[in-house]
């Protein structure tokens, strides 16, 4: 090949006079040699072009595989609840995850009303402590005989010191013969549940620490031993909570009935462990009640079993397909979708079209919030016309022309939920996110992280029942401890616990009498 190239260069360098001196046969030979050289060069070039095409194709496949792996990694982690991460900042743009604290404006933040501990001066003190000044703290001079002035410095609110010993009582029950019904009657102590040697106050406190403070049974045992001088085993706590949950079963059913009667329900589910095996903790809640339900399944049969086949309100959920089993107006959580698109924006900053899609989708949701707020001022025809235009905007947005592969994946995820994105606009109680459901289930997530789950099915069911009652009391601004005391005392007297509706009626009657 090198010799042919040298010959080719030699021929090219010949001038016209030299070519004229060559014979016809020699010229033909030179021309044939040049054709052979050019054909060899073209075949080499063809091979190189083919190699370049193969390498370009391999590069494209590697890039596609890399994008796929990156997208899969995003999909795995994007739905993890973020800590106070806003959907967008004040300026209307998504906040980059890698923004350093130094980039933020350094300004003194205004103290919001109600933050910090309130002053104690409105409290009436039960005791007055006089602190005598005996010597000067500066030089140590004796000041006992010198006159001084005394003035109130502050009001201090404190708790009693750790108990030196528990209150131990011997309960004596009286038995008598009834001459009317001809049966033996006996009195019942209200200091503890029947057959229990742990008092009601300690039982209720253990239940509160177990569910609302998410303490494990060993930590509850240590707390009572340290601060209450009460010794109780972890097995004893478990048996006590299971028995307590069985007693409160009617209250648990009352909460479920109240949830199903609401105009809006928020639902969610999280993983749980029962003796090391995978279970699921479900929540169904409205603004007044929260119902926790443990189950081995994460399928639609659980939703149908709890809420029935039809619900006439709006159901706010994430995109999990199990909720499709229920016939109702369903609103998908847009916070999950926005979080996923923001992750794509952070992972692929070179694709500006993803940002444009995000901003337009967010604009549609904000316009939906405005229309929802204005519904009471519009007649039905005007409202439906505006809602139809809003849905058409969403449909047109999802028909994005020539999207890149990443944007096409994001659009595909949004299109799957298209029928459930603007449902909230038609319901006054509806929201376009499931943040309330995430708030309710957070107690279960915290408990699972602390305790790792439950040892038995009875244990997780006990947790679900007591947690449902405690969270419902919190939502209704009722004292969990006071309700539990009244409910268990009524159980001791009648064999049936007091329901939440009965307790609220009792409180209403007492406030009216006062």
pLDDT, tens digit (0-9, with 9 covering 90-100), for 27-78? 777 777 777 777 777 777 878 888 888 888 877 777 777 777 767 666 666 6
CA separation for the pair 304, 325 (Å, rounded): 7
Q: Are residues 376 and 419 in the same domain?
A: yes
Q: Are residues 232 and 300 in the same domain?
A: yes
Q: Are residues 385 and 465 in the same domain?
A: no
98 within domain boundaries:
no
Percent of the residues in the chain that have a pLDDT greater than 90, as a whole number: 52
Q: pLDDT class for 439, splitting at 50, 70, 90? A: very high
Evaluate whether 233 touches 221 at the Cβ level (below 8 Å): yes
352 within domain boundaries:
yes
Q: Are residues 460 and 501 in the same domain?
A: yes
Q: Are residues 421 and 456 in the same domain?
A: no
Closest CA to 226 of 283, 307, 162, 295: 162
Q: Are residues 263 and 348 in the same domain?
A: no
Structure tokens given for 219: 């930590």
Report H helices in 375-429: 380-398, 405-416
Mean of pLDDT over the chain: 85
Q: Are residues 413 and 453 in the same domain?
A: no
**Would you mind telling me the total number of residues written for the chain in this entry?**
514
257 pLDDT higher than 90 = yes
Please tell me the predicted confidence (pLDDT) of residue 4. 46
Q: Is 214 helix (H, G, I), strand (E, B) or coil?
A: coil
281 within domain boundaries:
yes
What DSSP line would sit under 415-479, residue for residue?
A: HHTGGGSSGGGG-TT--SS-HHHHHHHHHHHHHHHHH-SBSSHHHHHHHHHHHHHHHHHHHTT--
User: Of the candidates 381, 410, 433, which is a domain's last residue?
Assistant: 433
Q: Are residues 404 and 460 in the same domain?
A: no
Structure tokens given for 48: 């190189």
5 pLDDT higher than 70 = no
Least confident of 144-148, 258-262, 437-441: 144-148
CA separation for the pair 214, 146 (Å, rounded): 55
Domain residue limits at 280: 202-314+448-509
Q: Are residues 367 and 418 in the same domain?
A: yes
Is the pTM for the entire model greater than 0.85? Answer: no
Q: How many structural domains compose the chain?
A: 2
Structure tokens given for 103: 């980039």
Q: How many CB atoms lie within 10 A of CB 65?
A: 10
Mean pLDDT calculated for residue range 431-438: 93
41 within domain boundaries:
no
Please tell me the predicted confidence (pLDDT) of residue 262. 87
Q: Are residues 275 and 367 in the same domain?
A: no
234 within domain boundaries:
yes
261 within domain boundaries:
yes
Distances (CA, A) of 140 to 64, 132, 149, 201: 80, 15, 19, 49
Quote helix, strand, coil % in the chain, to nearest 5: 55, 10, 35
Evaluate whether 241 touches 210 at the Cβ level (below 8 Å): yes
pLDDT in tens, 183-222: 888 888 888 999 899 999 999 999 999 999 999 999 999 9
Least confident of 72-81, 91-100, 263-272: 91-100
249 within domain boundaries:
yes
321 within domain boundaries:
no
Closest CA to 328 of 234, 398, 263, 392: 263
Closest CA to 335 of 65, 64, 81: 81
The secondary structure element, H or E, covering residue 264 is: strand 264-274
């Amino acid at each position: 090949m090198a010799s042919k190239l040298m010959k080719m260069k030699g021929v090219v360098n010949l001038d016209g006079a030299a070519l004229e001196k060559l014979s016809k046969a020699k010229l033909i030979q030179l021309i044939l040699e040049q054709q052979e050289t050019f054909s060899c060069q073209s075949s080499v070039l063809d091979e190189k072009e083919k190699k370049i095409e193969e390498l370009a194709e391999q590069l494209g496949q590697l890039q596609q595989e890399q994008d796929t792996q990156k997208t899969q990694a995003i999909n795995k982690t994007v739905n993890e609840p973020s800590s106070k991460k806003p959907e967008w900042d004040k300026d209307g743009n998504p906040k980059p995850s890698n923004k350093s604290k130094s980039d933020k404006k350094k300004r003194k933040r205004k103290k919001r009303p109600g933050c910090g501990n309130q002053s104690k001066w409105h409290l009436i003190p039960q005791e007055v402590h006089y602190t005598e000044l005996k010597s000067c703290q500066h030089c140590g001079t004796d000041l006992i005989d010198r006159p001084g002035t005394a003035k109130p410095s502050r009001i201090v609110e404190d708790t009693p010191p750790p108990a030196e010993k528990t209150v131990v009582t011997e309960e004596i029950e009286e038995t008598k013969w009834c001459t009317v019904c001809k049966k033996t009657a006996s009195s019942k102590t209200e200091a503890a549940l029947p057959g229990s040697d742990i008092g009601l106050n300690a039982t209720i406190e253990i239940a509160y620490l177990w569910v609302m403070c998410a303490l494990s049974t060993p930590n509850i045992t240590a707390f009572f031993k340290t601060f209450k001088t009460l010794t109780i085993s972890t097995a004893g706590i478990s048996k006590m909570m299971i028995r307590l949950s069985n007693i409160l079963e009617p209250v648990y059913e009352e909460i479920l009935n109240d949830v199903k009667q609401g105009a809006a329900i928020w639902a969610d589910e999280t993983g749980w462990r029962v003796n090391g095996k995978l279970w699921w903790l479900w929540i169904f809640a409205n603004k007044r009640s929260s119902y926790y339900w443990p189950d081995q399944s994460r399928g639609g049969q659980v939703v149908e079993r709890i809420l029935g086949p039809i619900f006439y309100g709006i159901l706010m959920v994430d995109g999990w397909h199990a909720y499709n089993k229920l016939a109702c107006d369903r609103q998908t959580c847009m916070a999950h979708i926005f979080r996923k698109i923001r992750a794509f924006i952070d992972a692929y900053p070179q694709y500006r079209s993803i940002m444009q899609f995000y901003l337009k989708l967010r604009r549609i949701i904000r316009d939906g919030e405005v229309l929802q707020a204005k519904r009471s001022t519009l007649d039905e025809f005007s409202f439906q016309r505006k809602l139809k235009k809003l849905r058409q905007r969403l449909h047109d947005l999802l028909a994005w022309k020539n999207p890149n592969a990443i944007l096409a994946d994001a659009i595909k995820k949004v299109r799957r939920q298209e029928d459930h994105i603007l449902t909230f606009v038609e319901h006054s109680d509806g929201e376009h996110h499931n943040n309330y459901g995430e708030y309710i289930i957070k107690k279960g997530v915290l408990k699972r992280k602390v305790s790792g789950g439950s040892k038995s099915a009875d244990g997780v069911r006990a947790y679900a029942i007591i947690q449902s009652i405690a969270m419902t009391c919190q939502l209704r601004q009722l004292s969990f401890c006071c309700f539990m005391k009244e409910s268990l005392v009524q159980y001791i007297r009648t064999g049936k616990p007091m329901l939440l509706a009965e307790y609220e009626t009792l409180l209403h009657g007492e406030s009216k009498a006062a």
